Structure 1
């Protein structure tokens, strides 16, 4: 009996030593060879880029490429004409690691089981416009009843368009909606293929060419009628590559800071103009609006509230089939770390749920 117990003890000890040795010999998680970022727009220019977001500054200045050059990690940017829905498909197929997209498509993706983390805001309070041909008799949103109207369904402008219609006594069924992407909508409007269109800053160029008129704008109205965009990461990638995720967020926060400084306004618009949208269009989009309010990376009460409201509206309108929880979705520890490292904890003003400014405070305290 004693010999048996002694043998068992020696065996257990040997197994413990082997286990410890195996753990010690286990390889450290290797850094990724490439970081792939999907952007929910076709973009423009050479190389392809986009505007309206500090992310466009990151792209044009090659800040991510510079950040990861010494580590031997390649950065790839992929642009999607199909916008948010196409980005969701790429996330589902593990073709991208990070995604820049609007609030509604990211929520649709989450409702369909996509495992992501929302890291940082990168383009807040984007305006929405309604445009019509210059000779059209359409003068207001109410005039859209029974008209053929372009709406890019599934994008962050879709839900705002529905809310704009509702604020004017109309439902989506009261118009003859046509699902067109940005380029197709412009071609359709100038050729009288549609009577009007919902869209963003891209319509200023068409207006300035004398081919369209803006009959409605959300600017200066209820902040709830604006669109939000953020940078997300696949949860699987984040869990395996936390250090690299932190470095990406650091760069996006650096870009947000640069893009929030009024002294950089003209240069910012020139950078964004490389996407094919003229400087004049950016000047019109951001007229009488503080850069810091639009380019803040903060996940404050306003942002959280807007994402929750989008969930509620999307569910009510059956754009998603089940409730989506957002409270566990925002992963702000990377943002907080970046703000602290760059001395920006109190740089931006946080907004309350109604979109009104509140006293500046530590983001770390705000997130508790």
Structure 2
């Protein structure tokens, strides 16, 4: 060591310190969820992520490393999550396709890691005594649509398929809780929404007059897990561990023998088991809970971009070809022996006949 100049030793030590610092694990991993959630501790349903949350799988994964896992739930759904991403208040984000696209169009630097809740259905509900019988009856009616969420765009497409434009209804922008209160008090004539409406229906306070169940899968909504690009670049090992846990949760949530227990876990969010049974009626868990970013998912995101641009929900074309980063997903599938577990679907939502295809970007 005596033969090495002091300045060179200092430079080497500084380089090692910088490298060590650059790869040091974060103190906290913060995950934003685009729903207010419910329960104690707060959780959510409809996604394998809710299973990881209830079972503390992420907390267990990082316990030995001394990394804290923090979950943040947003009543303002996707738009509120985008704001948190912009302010770097969260590292990962679980949200739906449209707000993810809107965030990307506004310059948010993220990577889409895996799907965590595919083919979510959309429903139209009305007060029980309503004379509304179909989508076509909505003309000039007060209709709740939670704008900026992944249900917004599907609602517009459903209206279009029935000869109506959004301007043909008197749209009212309400979040889930506000929409329920407005509907049962006759403040609105109808509301678009998801599985949360089954609880209101089962209480005799609403009726479902339209459902996307069993229809064209293009009328479904997709949700996935994002990571901030700068967080991913600085913490690839931690990103891999998060993806590993989400894939583990997806595998468990896709097993039909776990169906009843899965619904009981999701029910801790405040949405009853009966509502989950209705949402997933005659649908395979492995289709809804697959983490694959396959041709169907890519096609749906591209369609969301096109529709959002056409409807002026975004101001400019958004490229998503370099957005899907499935390196971590592929590594996790291989590590857990799940490379052939889930079926990959083509762009139209039909099973691919040969091989599997997940985005290679």
TM-score computed with the length of structure 1 as normaliser: 0.94
**Number of the residue aligned with 1:87:** 81
Verify the 8 A CA contact 1:127 1:285 in the aligned structure 2. yes
2:300 to 278, 289, 306: 306
CA distance in 2, matches of 1:67, 1:361: 32
**Number of the residue aligned with 1:203:** 197
CA 1:362–1:146 in 2, change beyond 3 Å: closer, same or farther?
Answer: closer
Post-superposition CA distance 1:125-162 (Å, at most 9, x none): 00000000110000000000000000000000000000
Verify the 8 A CA contact 2:34 2:74 in the aligned structure 1. yes
The alpha carbon displacement at 1:342 in A equals: 0.1
Verify the 8 A CA contact 2:153 2:304 in the aligned structure 1. yes
The alpha carbon displacement at 1:349 in A equals: 0.2
Residue aligned with 1:99, SS: strand
The alpha carbon displacement at 1:299 in A equals: 0.2
The alpha carbon displacement at 1:19 in A equals: 5.1
Residue aligned with 2:52, SS: helix
**Number of the residue aligned with 2:25:** 31
Residue aligned with 1:215, SS: strand
1:108 aligns with 2:116: no
Verify the 8 A CA contact 2:97 2:221 in the aligned structure 1. yes
1:354 to 330, 341, 348: 348
Verify the 8 A CA contact 2:295 2:357 in the aligned structure 1. no
**Number of the residue aligned with 2:234:** 240
**Number of the residue aligned with 2:140:** 146
Post-superposition CA distance 1:291-337 (Å, at most 9, x none): 00000000000000000000000000000001101110001000000
**Number of the residue aligned with 2:128:** 134
**Number of the residue aligned with 1:367:** 360
Verify the 8 A CA contact 2:309 2:316 in the aligned structure 1. yes
Verify the 8 A CA contact 1:336 1:363 in the aligned structure 2. no
Note the 1:1-368 alignment, pairs <5 A.
Answer: 20=12, 22-28=14-20, 29-359=23-353, 361=355, 367=360
CA distance in 2, matches of 1:97, 1:275: 23
CA distance in 2, matches of 1:16, 1:208: 74
Verify the 8 A CA contact 1:42 1:79 in the aligned structure 2. yes
Verify the 8 A CA contact 2:122 2:192 in the aligned structure 1. yes
CA distance in 2, matches of 1:360, 1:199: 36
The alpha carbon displacement at 1:44 in A equals: 0.5
Give the ranges of 4+ consecutive aligned residues of structure 1 lying more than 2 Å apart after TM superposition. 13-27, 359-364
Q: CA RMSD in A?
A: 1.5
CA distance in 1, matches of 2:166, 2:138: 10
Post-superposition CA distance 1:16-48 (Å, at most 9, x none): 787555434534121100000000000011111
Aligned length: 355
CA distance in 1, matches of 2:334, 2:26: 26
5+ long unaligned stretches in structure 2: none
Verify the 8 A CA contact 1:249 1:338 in the aligned structure 2. yes
CA distance in 2, matches of 1:25, 1:288: 57
CA distance in 2, matches of 1:197, 1:176: 11
CA 1:65–1:137 in 2, change beyond 3 Å: closer, same or farther?
Answer: same
CA distance in 1, matches of 2:44, 2:81: 15
Verify the 8 A CA contact 1:349 1:360 in the aligned structure 2. no
5+ long unaligned stretches in structure 1: 1-12
TM-score computed with the length of structure 2 as normaliser: 0.96
| Higher alpha-carbon Rg | 1
